[in-house]
Structure 1
Amino acid sequence: MILRRALILSLLALAACGRPGNPPPADPGTLFPARFSDSDPVDFHGRNPQSFPVHGIDVARFQNNIDWSTARQNGVNFAFIKATEGGDLKDINFDTHWQGAGQAAVKRGAYHFYYFCTSPEDQARWFIRNVPRTPGMLPPVLDMEWNPFSPTCAHIRPPAAEVRDQMHRWLAVVERHYGQRPIIYTTPEFYRKNDLGSFKGYDFWLRTTAKTPAEAYPSQTWRFWQYSATGVVPGIGGDVDLNTFSGSRADWQNWVATRAAR
């Protein structure tokens, strides 16, 4: 009986520690410093992204077999995960990434890549169909950039006023469903040509891998900066996009408390 009890206690202790080489997820409120490298680093000659304390990644079908627990403990505090494109395409790795990030207590959000050959309402419904409204999730993201690779939409570039109208319609449908105003992701060229600076009251996620946001988007405030497409993160095979949040650790905690889905 004594030996049996000792064996049971030993097994319970081992289970509490997690499997060897696979540590249990850290406390959800813990923020880890970025232990990233870059296969093609850039000198921004100004306020480098490393000066910000909260970093994360964005992922899509190109990233496979992510060890989310390892990635988190090396500085992946948040992740934006590609969910959908247009009105009928779902990223093949979305479900796996969504579940893995959630299990590792990574703050996660989903994004939609916009097509100009499908109505914004159809695209919003497709996103809603595939992205579960999950308590604690980050606001949904509308990815606005020209799409040169689509076999059906690459040549469609509506006037700026029409672009903004379609964006407003998608944003309105998605905001009603998730109860949070979406984030707008964009590139310098798309931002300029379509006057996205006219969108007031929205959080922006800005791509700029050669200049700082202040240089690439003069006068535009931002919440997230995608500063590298060639990040090297433990737990992730191959290059991955790196991002940083615009404020302090306290700013991050306050922003999440306000903007996460309930």
Structure 2
Amino acid sequence: MKTRRRSPSRSKNSGLPPFLRALRFGALAALSLGLASCAIAPNSRYPAKSDIKPHAGVASAHRLPIHGVDISKWQGKVDWAALRQAGTKFAFIKATEGGDHVDNRFLENWWGAKNAGVPRGAYHFVYWCRPAHEQAVWFKKNVPQDPEALPPVLDVEWNGESVNCPKKVPREQALSMINVLLREMEAHTGKRPIIYTDITFHKDILEGEFNDYPYWIRSVAAEPQERYADRRWTFWQFTTTGRVPGVSGDIDRNTFYGTENQWRMFVASACDPRDHKRLQPLGICRDISNGVQTANIDE
């Protein structure tokens, strides 16, 4: 690269003594680094984590206290100890897709997270060209039963990029398939599943449906309430370009809606604390042991 030649005019610093020029340079450098870090993660509680393409529309996510990630084979080898040290409070790990695909790093990640002390749950990606009962059997075959795991996740979105099955199915068919999978996943794990979805699929299929289930929604450019009609969320995927120690390259970052107390209640009961009083008598939520709830449910 050709180097530009400096103008013969004197710079503003040229008349300063060397030590003053050095102090001025250091101050400017520190200011630049501070501004850069604010741009990466505004008001972040986890400065070790960042986002290479931060969006102002989701800045509020950084201020919430409970953050986590979702993981698949595309993240490569994960250093789970480093991930936990960075403040990661949960991980959702891809397990199965359709009725014949297992993520080839699922078990490695599943046990790696447990050994590092990172609460984790498994997720199944729905394939709309495969009967729901076959997908349920596949999930049960490949996901270990672990009473200490987080609730499983049912990932429902259109897959227009699929080579074999890019089509959409009618709304009633989609709802029927989802219902079967939710029921069977709950029977296998003993926990009510979380529904993961995106803006388009929610509008096409899920508005007004499955309101007794916790939702994990994707919104990477705006607050969830700006993109989802009348949908209360429990988890929010707010960026796909996050960076976290322990993972090379981009990773999805997520946040839980509530406080640290509410998170403890969620982990202990496998239910959104806002639903516990209503659903626990139905046998859906586990009893909360003494000492878990340390404050009012709204705190």
In the superposition, the TM-score normalised over structure 2's length comes to 0.74
* Correspondence list, 1:55-66, <5 A: 55-66=67-78
The answer as to 2:85 corresponding to 1:73 is: yes
The CA deviation string for residues 17-56 of structure 1, in whole angstroms up to 9 with x for no partner, is xxxxxxxxxxxxxxxx5231101001027x6101210000
Aligned equivalents of 2:162 and 2:138: distance in 1? Answer: 18
Give the letter for the 2:99 counterpart. Answer: G
State the partner residue of 1:86: 98
State the partner residue of 2:252: 241
* Selected match of 1:48 from 46, 55, 60: 60
Quick check: 1:79–1:108 contact (8 Å CA) kept in 2? Answer: yes
The answer as to 2:50 corresponding to 1:37 is: yes
- Structure number with greater CO (CA < 8 Å, separation at least 6) is 1
Radius of gyration: which is bigger?
A: 2
State the partner residue of 2:128: 116
The answer as to 2:265 corresponding to 1:254 is: yes
Give the letter for the 1:87 counterpart. Answer: G
* Selected match of 2:178 from 146, 163, 167: 167
Runs (5+) with no aligned partner, structure 2: 1-44, 272-284, 287-299
Q: 1:199: Cα distance to partner?
A: 1.2
State the partner residue of 1:11: none
Aligned equivalents of 1:83 and 1:149: distance in 2? Answer: 20
Match of 2:254, SS state, is strand
State the partner residue of 2:165: 153
The answer as to 2:209 corresponding to 1:188 is: no
Runs (5+) with no aligned partner, structure 1: 1-32
Give the letter for the 1:199 counterpart. Answer: F
* Selected match of 2:221 from 210, 218, 241: 210
Quick check: 1:191–1:197 contact (8 Å CA) kept in 2? Answer: no
In the superposition, the TM-score normalised over structure 1's length comes to 0.84
Point out the structure with the larger helix share.
Answer: 2
Aligned equivalents of 1:57 and 1:250: distance in 2? Answer: 20
Aligned equivalents of 1:75 and 1:206: distance in 2? Answer: 21
Alignment RMSD: 1.5
State the partner residue of 2:234: 223
* Correspondence list, 1:16-27, <5 A: none
Quick check: 2:81–2:116 contact (8 Å CA) kept in 1? Answer: yes
Aligned equivalents of 1:136 and 1:195: distance in 2? Answer: 29
- Change over 3 Å in CA distance of 1:150–1:160 after alignment to 2: same
Match of 2:84, SS state, is helix
Give the letter for the 1:56 counterpart. Answer: G
Quick check: 1:59–1:81 contact (8 Å CA) kept in 2? Answer: yes
